[in-house]
Amino acid sequence: MSRFSSSLIALLGLFMIGSVAQAGKTVTVEANDQMKFTVNKIEAVAGSELTIVFKNVGAMPKAAMGHNLVVLKKDANPMAFSQAAMAAAATEYIPAQMKDQVLAATKLLGPKEEETITFTVPSEPGEYVYLCTFPAHFIVGMKGVIVVTAE
Ligand SMILES: [Cu+2]
């Protein structure tokens, strides 16, 4: 084997190790006209990449039944966030004064729309709540939890 091809193989090996280490998790979450998320618990490793493919599979108009998926920081209060969100229609139900409590969020989606978000899971293990901040959707159960475990 020539020196060139063996170093090429070594490089390829390094590249493959690199892609395995970077590979994160992808989860698809659907939201529907019944005001439910199809996934309410996501397990993730601290510091890893998490991709959420979020789909509004409903048929009702966005103004009446829009959905988003907002992941909050660990110390955030989801109930307080959802209450403040009711007055934040102009910013797609993300209250400006609580924006710093958001870890990751999709836009507000209308029927048959979808959005993919990728973010780095916090390094601190624990439970991180996600919710839909459209008025009253959190109250009726549009929420879930990302359970972050240590590396
Ligand atoms: Cu919703």
What does the domain layout of the chain look like in residue ranges?
Answer: 24-149
pTM: 0.85
- For 3-41, write each residue's pLDDT tens digit: 555 555 555 555 554 444 446 899 999 999 999 999 999
**Does residue 147 register a pLDDT over 80?**
yes
Distance 37 CA to ligand 1 centre (A): 8
Neighbours of 19 (CB within 10 A): 9
Backbone angles phi, psi at 12, to 5 degrees: -60, -40
What tokens appear for 115 in the block?
């959005």
Neighbours of 89 (CB within 10 A): 13
3-state DSSP assignment of residue 54: strand
Distance 124 CA to ligand 1 centre (A): 28
Backbone angles phi, psi at 24, to 5 degrees: -105, -165
Distance 137 CA to ligand 1 centre (A): 5
**Does residue 135 register a pLDDT over 50?**
yes
Q: Which amino acid is at 71?
A: V
Rounded-to-integer distance, Cα 14 and Cα 8, Å? 10
Distance 56 CA to ligand 1 centre (A): 9
Strands, sheet with 114-120, edge to edge from the N-terminal-most edge strand: 25-31, 49-56, 114-120
Q: Topology of 24-149 in CATH?
A: Immunoglobulin-like (2.60.40)
| Stretch 34-60: mean pLDDT | 98
Neighbours of 130 (CB within 10 A): 26
User: Which residues have their alpha-adjacent CB atom under 5 A from ion ligand 1?
Assistant: 67, 132, 134, 137, 142
Distance 28 CA to ligand 1 centre (A): 16
Rounded-to-integer distance, Cα 94 and Cα 68, Å? 10
Rounded-to-integer distance, Cα 99 and Cα 115, Å? 20
- For 65-104, write each residue's pLDDT tens digit: 999 999 999 999 999 999 999 999 999 999 999 999 999 9
Phi-psi category of residue 133: left, alpha or beta, with phi > 0 → left and psi -120 to 50 → alpha? alpha
Length of the chain: 151
Distance 10 CA to ligand 1 centre (A): 49
Distance 18 CA to ligand 1 centre (A): 38
| Stretch 109-137: mean pLDDT | 97
Distance 115 CA to ligand 1 centre (A): 14
pLDDT at position 92, please? 96
